[in-house]
Structure formats: structure tokens, C-alpha cells
A and B are shown apart, each in its own frame.
Chain A
Amino acid sequence: MLLSISSSKLRQTASDRPGVAQPVPMRDIPAQPWKRIAAGTLALWLVMLGAWEWHWRAFGVTPAVRNSDGLWAMQRRRIDSGEGGATVLVGDSRTFFDLQLPVWARFDGRRPIQLAFEATSSLPFLEDLAADPQFTGRLIVGIAPNVFFTGSDVHAGALRYYRSESPSQRIGQWLSMHLIEPIFAFDGPDFALATVVERQPWPTRSGLPALPAVRKLNVLEADRNSYLWSKVETDPEYRALTRAIWLQRLASSDDPQSENTQRRSDQQIDRAAKAVATLRGRGVKVLFVRPPSAGPYLKAENKVFPRAKTWDALLAATGAPGIHFEDYPELQGLDLPEWSHLSRADAGRFTESLHRIVERDFWGIDPAKEAAIYR
């Protein structure tokens, strides 16, 4: 029963009526001009929303597809729906931003399935594909040493999401891609209210190492093709900020001499070897790729994760071939504005060169040669 009262008398609740049948609840409707209030609210809300959107567009943000578990699940489901023989990419942000699907498709005829996730080791996804008999295609596994060999799992929850995605979540993903993402530039994790407040220049707490969060680096398309955000390339201040963040994070990276670092790295290699063996047992061609990095980033990676103990050990343990950018002149000399990811233009060049190397040396060769490579 709904009443209109304006007194401050407390409503009775079930806690005031022990051991009896509870009556129909009484709900007060405050005596207010609700139509006028709602109209005022709507007008104010639209003004605030417009101002927020204008602010982020002025910052250089444009509407784009949101990088979500739901979007990842859409791509993962392609393997379940008849594309099990496709070329699949797993890896971290370098595989994600540096490998351009349209460029690959231009040479290959088919667009690969992009399953890489930033700041996330490819290992859980490698294991997932190994356990899925429907996947019989070709697999490129991107390796960024500080992500793969540490087992970083920021987005590994996407797998759980994909396995348990509800109809409601699927509908929500579709609605978001059609009603929100194409319209609003502010719809991205970097511009969420709490993130924006948290990233204000707060005083540092004593004793706590400064470990600022990585800022927006990429732009995403509906099939998860992704490339470096133009602001990183064109805005010197923003580029300097992204570099400063890498420097701060690199300063707190693992101790190369630590037993823990080595043990963790060995564990990742062991797991990868098992997954690759399963995949190869099914005829899947697995190829590791180490995309370029530069400057202080590369220096820190080489110090903490020396190639002999990580990359070389990984290839030896898995028996799978690999393409390390340092071994191929055509994969060097590219533009990496913030030392870790290629500029959009050079990501296209990198993809083209990589595809040529893959076809020339690994996947397009005669079977006898191929057998020698795939020991």
C-alpha cells in the first residue's frame, strides 16, 4: 500500500512484529512535485554528461570499442563455431597492439583471431587452446619477457568469463557495442570516475613505492584489432608521461639474481612445454614471437630476463620455433614511441615483415623442411 505522508515517524518493519503474519508494507511517497523534479534531473544530467564527454574529447579521446572480457569471449567463440582451423594470436600488449589483423589478412587471405590481452601472460590462453580439441589451426604466441616469464595474469579472468558467460552478459555486450561504445568517448577504463579521482596528484604515502598505473595506450576495433593511440605518438607530454610510468615500474621490477625470479620463469616454461606438446600432438603449428622493445625498457628486460635463461630456454623446452626481433634486420629500426609498443604505421610494417618471415621460414615451406624445424 502506498501512502503520502510528510511526517518523520518511523515506519514499522518486520523486526517490530515478531511471530505474526507480516502485513502489506506501507511505503511513503514524499509530497514533492516529482514530475518537475524528474524533468530538472534529466536536464542537469544531460548537461553534466555533455560536459564530461566534451572534456574527454578535448583530451583527444574518440569513441571506440571497449576492451572487455565479453569482447574477448566473442573472439574466443569463433573457434567453437567453425573457425578452429584459423590462425590465432595469444600474448600480451605487444602482440595485441603490434600485430595488425587487416595487414595480416591482406597477405594471408584470412583475418587471425586476436586473443592477446595486455599485461597478461599468454600461458593460460595457451593452456586453454591446448585443452580444446576444436582448435587445430596455427598459433602465434607473443612473448614480452616481463609479462610471460612472471606469469602476469591481469586479464586471465577472461577465460572464466568465457566459460560461464550468461545470456544476460551476452546481451549486455551486444547492447554496449551498439548503444554506448560508438557514441561515448568517455566509455573506457581510463576515464572511469574512480580512476580519474585516483590519478590526481595525491601525496605519496611514506614507505610505499610509487607504482603508477599504465595509462591508455591503444585503440580497439570490433574484432579486437588494436593499435597504439595516436596521442602517444603525437602529444609529447603524454608520451613523456607514458615513458615516466614505464621507468617507475621498471625501477621496481624483479631482482634478476633472485631465485624467485628464476623459479617463476622456469615454472612458466614448464607449463608452456606441456601445452605446446599437447597442441603439436594435434597438429597445431606453434610459433613464438618476441616483438621489439627499445630504450630503457629493452635494457631492463635484458637485465632481469636474460635471453639465454628465458627466450632460448623456452624454445629449447617446447621444441617450437621462434622469431626474436633481434635476429631479423627487417624487424628492427622500427618506431616505438614509448619503448614498448610500435607506432601504428610501424605496427603495419612489422606485421608485413613478420608474415613474410613466417611464410618464408616456417609455415609456407615444404613439408620436409618444416619437419626439421618442428623437431
Chain B
Amino acid sequence: MVFNSLTFVVFFACVLVLHSLPLASTTKKINLLIASYLFYAAWNPPFVILLWISTVVDWYAAQGLVKAQRPATRHAWMLLSVVANLSMLGYFKYGQFLLDNCTALMAAAGVAYHPPHYDIVLPVGISFYTFATMSYTLDVYLRRAAPARNLLDYALFVTFFPHLVAGPIMRPTELVPQFAEPHRASARQLGYGLALMTLGLFNKVVLADSFLSSISERIYDSDKIPGLLDAWAATLAFSGQIFCDFAGYSTTAIGAAMCLGFAMPDNFRFPYAAVGFSDFWRRWHITLSAWLRDYLYIPLGGNRHGAWRTYAALFTTMLLGGLWHGASWTFVAWGGLHGLYLAAERGLRARFPHYRPGPLMFVALGVLTYALVNLTWVFFRAKTFGKAWLVLSGMLGQNAQAKPILATPSLVFVTAIVGGIVLTHWLMRSRTLESVVARTPAAALSAVWAVMAFAIVAAQGSGNAFIYFQF
């Protein structure tokens, strides 16, 4: 079920009541585990089997790793986990993509091959929970972590509903130890957790879904040719939409976990105030970028084998990171662009190691970073390269025959909301939300919280799935 649904409101209320009852710690964990399976099954019950497979394979792989004496055996257990998880991901997420590309390749070679269309349904959140379970086996393999002490704690780590389908991508060392002790939220945790959930849902339901999504749709999902203003407005709207959608999900997830007494890591840190792309990736989808860094970039050699190996590792990591987002070459292009940006930034830092920008240049570099990030969003949002080029061409003022598409309110919404988001990120770039909340008068907090809660209800969200569920 999605967070922004009536079903979730009822579900979460039941979970909160159940979790606050004076029950034994193990009983509470079993309750949470069952609730998490119900949460997942509410989309498509049979896919719970995939969760079980992922859980059981990695549980036994980690046990095998601990018992194994020889390096080759340890290696084999690690490979079993990686292959099982990636095979599952490969089949459900990339099966049709691979088949389509094979068909195209064969056609290019003059071989006519027409495989059937399989209509493979993508299990929600598979990319997230396979990465979470893989990190468990890999951490044990790399001797960074000890395996979980019991299957219940481990299964709950994999399945815990706040992070299950769209992250933050949790590491076992972040969550499993929390299950070792009884957890119940205090009144303050409950209060702040609910406030965070409201903030997250406000981002998703009001800003992303109600005000911004239709603006990008009108350009990216239509066959009209956009001019300079429309192309930029749609792309900026998408930059706001995807931030509010995904950061909104993470904030809601963190709030939901907090209401139950658990802590989850930050996934966003005001990314549109990033200056440079390494800074951007320390602020955007932090748990994914850290995962890719720890389990892909560093094993590929990281920066330990000279400049060119570093660039190659960086580029490969970002290409695969792009592919992780979706089985389409446009996502690969998105990752590739980010790889190029990171490589260029690295090259510039090496060339000018002592350069420190002044205040104006600092802001200018921030604006440049945001503008270049927006260029990558074009490939992320467009369903085809043809559409991406058309929008890019519009953004460069090259669509001479374009007619106005977006009406005045849409342009006002983009300016006000996206401008507000970027400004907020700059004001908050070196702060935490908590530090600001701590200094705000209680009456003002009540007013802001109530306005957000009212806007959520008045917006009448249609229960649209979060964008990242498809990844």
C-alpha cells in the first residue's frame, strides 16, 4: 500500500495501537513482521514469495559465510547471495529490456527474431529490498558486520514496512541492533514522528502530485513541441516533483519508523543547494549513492589505482546506478551524464587543487550545478530519446515552431514552488531540520503543521504511487 492512501492511515493506526500494547518484545516484532508482509501483499500478494526467497537465501548465505573455513567457500556463499538477488532483479526488472535489446541487435545483424512479449510485472520495491538483503551478506563477507542473531530480527530488517519499498536503503548494522532491544516510541517521538509524516505527505500529495506533476506531464507526455519557457518550466517542475515525491517518501518513512520507536537514516540533505556533483550525491538519495560507493565503486578499485581506473570505476558505477533506476537506455544516459559530471569535477579539482570560490562564485557554481542536474532530469523523465531531444532542443530555444502550452497558473506554480524549494535548500544547506524546529516557537509549529495537514486533505490526493516504487 502507498503511504498516501486511506488504507495506509487505517493500517498505520492499527500498527501503532498494536505496538503500544504491553506485549513481549518478541510478540511485538512478530506483529511488525506480519504487518510488513500485509503492507507488501496489499499490492500483489504472490510477490511476498519473492521477499521470502530474498530473506531466506541471504540468511543462509550469511550463516554459510560465518561457518566457512576456506576463502573459496566464503566466496561461493557470497556469490550465491549476489547471483540469487541479481537474478531475481534481472528477470523481473530487466528481462523484457534484455530481450528487446537482443531482438534489436539480431535485427541489426539481419536475423529476424520475434520473441513473444512476456508482460512481466515488476514487483514493487524489488530494487530496494534486494539491495538491502545483498548488503547484509556483503557486510558479513567483508567482515564489517556479524550476522543477525535470529531469523526474526533479520526477516524484520528486510521487511520492516517503512523502508521496504522505496528506502532509505537500510544496512543490517543500522537496523538489526535496534531489534535487539524493546522499542516503543515516547510521546515526543510520536509527536515529532507524526509531524515528519505530515511533512513528507505534504511534499508528496500537495506539492508533487497536486501542483507539479501535471505540468511536466503536459510537456513530457504530449506530442506538442515545447518552446524555451515551456520546456524549462516542465523540467523545473519535474525537478521539484521528483524531489518532493522521493524526499517526501523518505521523510514519511523516517517519521513512521520514529512513531514506532525506531531510527532510520537521512536520505536527502537539501540537494538543490549542492555545489558540485560530488556534493550533490552526498545530498541526493544518500543511501543509494553510499550503497553504490561501498559495494560497487570501491570493489571496482575506487581511487586506489590511478586516475584512469578511478574515472572508469566512477563512470561504470554511475551507468549501473542509472540502470538501477529503470530498464531503459534513457536512465543509462541519465547515469552516464552524472558520471561525466563527476569525472569532470574530479578532473577540475585535480587541475586546480587550491581553488576556493568566493561567495558569489560559490552561489554561481550552485546555480550551475542545479542547471546541469536539470539537464539530466530530461533523460530521467522522457520516455524516449526522441522526446528528450525535443525538450532539450526547447530548453536551448531551438524549437522555432513551438506554440505556448502551459497556462499562466502552471508557470506561477513552478516559479513559486520550485523557487521556494531551491531557496529553502540554500537556507538549510548547512543546517538540519531539527535545529530549525528546535528554535521555532511552538505556536508557529502548530500553525505550519496544521496548514500542511489541511492542505493534504484539501488536495484530495488520488493515491498516486511514488515515482520510486517503479525502481
- By a beta-carbon cutoff of 8 Å, the part of chain A in contact with chain B is 1-2, 4-11, 13-38, 40-45, 48-49, 52, 68, 166-169, 171-172, 175-176, 179-180, 186-189, 191-194, 197-198, 200, 202-208
Pairs across A and B, CB under 8 Å, 27 listed = A2-B189, A8-B435, A8-B436, A11-B432, A13-B265, A14-B171, A14-B287, A18-B294, A21-B145, A24-B178, A25-B264, A30-B438, A34-B190, A41-B446, A48-B451, A167-B45, A169-B463, A171-B42, A172-B5, A172-B463, A176-B6, A186-B458, A189-B460, A202-B412, A205-B406, A207-B404, A208-B406
Q: A179: which of B6, B290, B431 is its contact (CB, 8 Å)?
A: B6
Q: What is the count of residue pairs linking A and B with beta-carbon distances less than 8 angstroms?
A: 228
Among A6, A34, A176, chain B packs the most CB atoms within 10 A around the CB of A34
- By a beta-carbon cutoff of 8 Å, the part of chain B in contact with chain A is 1-2, 5-8, 10, 41-45, 139, 144-145, 171, 173-175, 177-178, 187-192, 194-195, 206, 210-211, 254, 258, 261, 263-266, 269, 281-283, 286-287, 289-291, 293-294, 298, 403-413, 430-432, 434-440, 442-443, 445-447, 449-451, 453-455, 457-460, 462-463
Q: B459: which of A4, A176, A193 is its contact (CB, 8 Å)?
A: A193
**What separation, in Å, do the CA atoms of A169 and B1 have in the docked complex?**
8
Q: By the criterion CB–CB under 8 Å, are A193 and B460 in contact? A: yes
**What separation, in Å, do the CA atoms of A20 and B431 have in the docked complex?**
25
**What separation, in Å, do the CA atoms of A4 and B437 have in the docked complex?**
12
B104 → chain A closest CB, angstroms? 27
B85 → chain A closest CB, angstroms? 19
Residue of B nearest to A31 (CB): B438
**What separation, in Å, do the CA atoms of A6 and B438 have in the docked complex?**
6
**What separation, in Å, do the CA atoms of A11 and B440 have in the docked complex?**
19
Q: By the criterion CB–CB under 8 Å, are B432 and A34 in contact? A: no
A283 → chain B closest CB, angstroms? 30
Q: By the criterion CB–CB under 8 Å, are A168 and B2 in contact? A: yes
8 A-B pairs with the lowest CB-CB distances in the bound complex, closest first:
A34-B191, A40-B446, A14-B290, A44-B450, A168-B42, A8-B435, A168-B1, A30-B438
Q: By the criterion CB–CB under 8 Å, are A7 and B435 in contact? A: yes
Q: Which residues of A contact B450 (CB under 8 A)?
A: 40-45, 48
**What separation, in Å, do the CA atoms of A360 and B337 have in the docked complex?**
69
Q: A48: which of B178, B206, B265, B454 is its contact (CB, 8 Å)?
A: B454
Q: Which residues of B contact A45 (CB under 8 A)?
A: 450, 453-454
Among A22, A44, A204, chain B packs the most CB atoms within 10 A around the CB of A22
Residue of A nearest to B229 (CB): A205
**What separation, in Å, do the CA atoms of A19 and B43 have in the docked complex?**
35
Q: A15: which of B6, B189, B289, B413 is its contact (CB, 8 Å)?
A: B289
Q: Which residues of B contact A8 (CB under 8 A)?
A: 430-432, 435-436
**What separation, in Å, do the CA atoms of A32 and B440 have in the docked complex?**
9
In addition to A27-B258, A52-B458, 14 A-B residue pairs with Cβ atoms within 8 Å of each other are A2-B263, A8-B436, A15-B286, A23-B173, A24-B173, A27-B263, A30-B434, A32-B437, A166-B42, A168-B42, A172-B1, A194-B206, A207-B403, A208-B407
Residue of B nearest to A20 (CB): B144
Q: Which residues of B contact A189 (CB under 8 A)?
A: 460
Q: Which residues of A contact B289 (CB under 8 A)?
A: 15
Q: Which residues of A contact B42 (CB under 8 A)?
A: 166-168, 171
Query: Knowing A8-B435, A45-B454, A52-B454 touch, does A32 contact B144 (C-beta < 8 A)?
Result: no
Residue of A nearest to B439 (CB): A6
Query: Knowing A21-B139, A23-B173, A208-B407 touch, does A172 contact B191 (C-beta < 8 A)?
Result: no
Q: By the criterion CB–CB under 8 Å, are B290 and A167 in contact? A: no
Residue of A nearest to B10 (CB): A175
Residue of B nearest to A18 (CB): B293
Q: Which residues of B contact A22 (CB under 8 A)?
A: 171, 173-174, 265, 290
Q: By the criterion CB–CB under 8 Å, are B404 and A27 in contact? A: no
Among A168, A171, A206, chain B packs the most CB atoms within 10 A around the CB of A168
Q: By the criterion CB–CB under 8 Å, are B294 and A193 in contact? A: no
Query: Knowing A37-B442, A193-B455 touch, does A13 contact B447 (C-beta < 8 A)?
Result: no
Q: By the criterion CB–CB under 8 Å, are B432 and A168 in contact? A: no
Query: Knowing A21-B139, A45-B453, A175-B6 touch, does A205 contact B407 (C-beta < 8 A)?
Result: yes
